[in-house]
Amino acid sequence: MKITANEAAQALINEGLRKLDALNFTQKLYAHDGTLWKQDSESVNFINGFLGWTEIYDWTLKQLPQIQNFAEEVRPLFEHIVLMGMGGSSLAPEVLRCVLGPLGPREGWPRLLVLDSTNPEWVAYARSQINPARTLFIFASKSGGTVEPASQFAYFYEEVSKVSQNPGANFIAITDAGTGLETLAKEKKFRRIFINPADIGGRFSALSLFGAVPAALSGLDTEKLLKTAAQEGGIFKNEKNSAAANLGALMGMAYAQGRDKLTLLMPSHIASFGLWIEQLVAESTGKEGKGIVPVAGEVPPKNFDYNDDRFFVYVSCPGADNETVKEAASALSKTNHPVFEAQMAGPYDIGAQFLLWEAATAAAGALMRINPFDQPNVQLAKTITKGLLAGLEAGKKSAETAAEFIASKNIAGRVSFDTLGEDLYKLLGKNDYIAILAYLNETPQTQRAVAALRDKIFTRTKNSVLFGYGPRYLHSTGQLHKGDGNNGVFIVLTAESDVDIKIPAQKYGFNDLCNAQALADFKALEEKGRRAVKLHLSKPAARALEELSGKF
């Protein structure tokens, strides 16, 4: 893999490589030695149980013949595949769908849809695209207990039951051994259960069955994908100064120098890869009062008028608008900002990119002295959500769910709806970031409205502006939001849906579930002392977003 770095980036890389060499990083990583990150026995034992990703591509390649045989078996039976998952279980398949899918799977292969939301309009859209009788559903979950895919499964299992006497034949599972999902799959007579190695965390699972099975089922050249990773993996393992070590050195030392905003530059045809990087980096490094903040999907300003808390990684790939992005990266590299480039020879190099970023994030974690493999602050929002859902089951709905405006306790009285923009600007430190967290339907109108709002806030403040759809971001940047050094300002957006879908065996539907998750995350941010506001938008949400932009 060819990499380049400008002078500012190379200085940081050189320092980081010296530190990684002193840690004996490469040898210890491939020896699965948890003392790279922590010294206490409890943490080391935990970490040692999550390092199976380092050479997982070899294991997955050995499983590939049986996966491909299964794919050929079901190919004529199904027109669509719907993957139900969240975070590490869904983002890699979504990247593969977006990056490799346009290359054209072989004729006759089913079309893959990735459903990683509880927004009822997203669920309704997925339902509108398929014939349940001719759809294969993938329930993907490492733990098997995640509320989002469990709710999606309950709904779609009922839909298939309406047209089939054997609904389980339309479902497969990807999970760890001994999970509740494995038990469910056996009870419901799923067509197939794929058991993944347990020593891999979700966000490090792209090259395992969680990525390979959906890829093979949708007709992608999964062997080629895995072999690009295997080729680079051999280099990473045997070279102390590999591309992965270089990128990890930059990430770790940029953070140490106060440049904690990892800004991603990439052409539009691989832009979805930024979502995967965002999760990997944010959830792995955002803890213990520390955190590298990934900035994905941002349009660079023409004058590169950035604060000095940034460093840039350009992932280049031939095609589409790569030359335009290359020109921007080249101009940016002439400034004092660190700029690093990782070159892809073509789209199937995404396999090598998965491994590059996993190893680099592990290296950055070693330099930051954190555990990149846990997510200690994720459970809080889940616990609050469970409480709100229990209230719904008992017929009690929180009035805060649909409240037009709420400010977290530590900023209450300092922020009002009428002067929202100016009030939030006053809360910002120079190197803080703003996160727009939208529990809304993803439409072109919403995308345009959010992009305009991001640009307006950045132009005014020069602070990094992040954006994520909920509840997806809960399994991505959510850990960073609650585990970093409290340098974020959060705008949580909800709206009543135009449609709702009941969740079987529950007294609430997807609209209530989605809004409960939003309120729970706001409360979790509040409990962690974060500067957060929650707004419930009027319908239509895209127009309300445009009106909200006027307050900034």
Instruction: Assign 144 a pLDDT band (cuts: 50, 70, 90).
Output: confident
Backbone angles phi, psi at 252, to 5 degrees: -65, -45
Q: Is omega for the bond preceding 471 within 30 degrees of 0, making it cis?
A: yes
Burial (CB count within 10 angstroms: exposed 0-12, middle 13-18, buried 19+), residue 131: exposed
Nearest to 350 by CA among 145, 96, 129: 96
Return the percentage of the chain with pLDDT > 90, whole number: 93
Condensed to tens digits (0 to 9), the pLDDT of residues 251-298 reads 999 999 999 999 999 999 999 999 999 999 999 999 999 999 999 999
Look at residue 2 and tell me whether its pLDDT is greater than 70: yes
Give the rounded distance of the alpha carbon of 446 from its chain centre: 19
Look at residue 336 and tell me whether its pLDDT is greater than 70: yes
Q: What is the 3-state secondary structure (H, E, C) of 127-173?
A: HHCCCHHHEEEEEECCCCCCHHHHHHHHHHHHHHHCCCCCHHHHEEE
Average pLDDT, the chain: 96
For residue 482, CA distances in Å to 155, 390, 465, 485, 518 come to: 31, 24, 17, 8, 15
The string over 393-409, giving b where at least 16 C-beta atoms fall within 10 Å of a residue's C-beta and e elsewhere, is eeeeebeebeeeebbbe
For residue 165, CA distances in Å to 129, 160, 430 come to: 22, 9, 61
How many C-beta neighbours within 10 Å does residue 5 have? 21
pLDDT at 302: 81
**How far is it, in rounded angstroms, from Cα 479 to Cα 56?**
25
Instruction: Assign 133 a pLDDT band (cuts: 50, 70, 90).
Output: very high
Nearest to 20 by CA among 367, 369, 368, 371: 367
**3-class SS of residue 265:** strand
Domains 3-36+226-368 and 379-549 belong to one CATH topology: yes
**How far is it, in rounded angstroms, from Cα 377 to Cα 483?**
6
Condensed to tens digits (0 to 9), the pLDDT of residues 356-393 reads 999 999 999 999 999 999 999 999 999 999 999 999 99
**How far is it, in rounded angstroms, from Cα 81 to Cα 91?**
15
Condensed to tens digits (0 to 9), the pLDDT of residues 18-75 reads 999 999 999 999 999 999 999 999 999 999 999 999 999 999 999 999 999 999 999 9
Cβ atoms of 84 and 115 closer than 8 Å = yes
How many C-beta neighbours within 10 Å does residue 42 have? 8
Q: Is omega for the bond preceding 197 within 30 degrees of 0, making it cis?
A: no
**CATH match for 3-36+226-368 among 3.40.50.10490, 3.40.50.620, 3.40.50.2000, 3.40.50.300:** 3.40.50.10490
Condensed to tens digits (0 to 9), the pLDDT of residues 303-334 reads 888 999 999 999 999 998 999 999 999 999 99
Return the percentage of the chain with pLDDT > 70, whole number: 99
Condensed to tens digits (0 to 9), the pLDDT of residues 498-524 reads 899 999 999 999 999 999 999 999 999
**CATH match for 54-222 among 3.90.1150.10, 3.40.1210.10, 3.40.50.2300, 3.40.50.10490:** 3.40.50.10490
Q: List the domain boundaries for the chain.
A: 3-36+226-368, 54-222, 379-549
Look at residue 102 and tell me whether its pLDDT is greater than 70: yes
**3-class SS of residue 318:** coil
**Domain 379-549 fold:** Rossmann fold (3.40.50)
Look at residue 539 and tell me whether its pLDDT is greater than 90: no
Q: How many residues does the chain have?
A: 552
Tokens of 459: 């132009």
Instruction: Assign 106 a pLDDT band (cuts: 50, 70, 90).
Output: low
* Element at 320 (helix H, strand E): none
Tokens of 283: 């959830």
Nearest to 274 by CA among 283, 263, 258, 284: 263
Ramachandran category for residue 328: left, alpha or beta (phi over 0 → left; psi -120 to 50 → alpha)? alpha
For residue 195, CA distances in Å to 210, 292, 360, 382 come to: 10, 32, 27, 25
Condensed to tens digits (0 to 9), the pLDDT of residues 84-98 reads 999 999 999 999 999
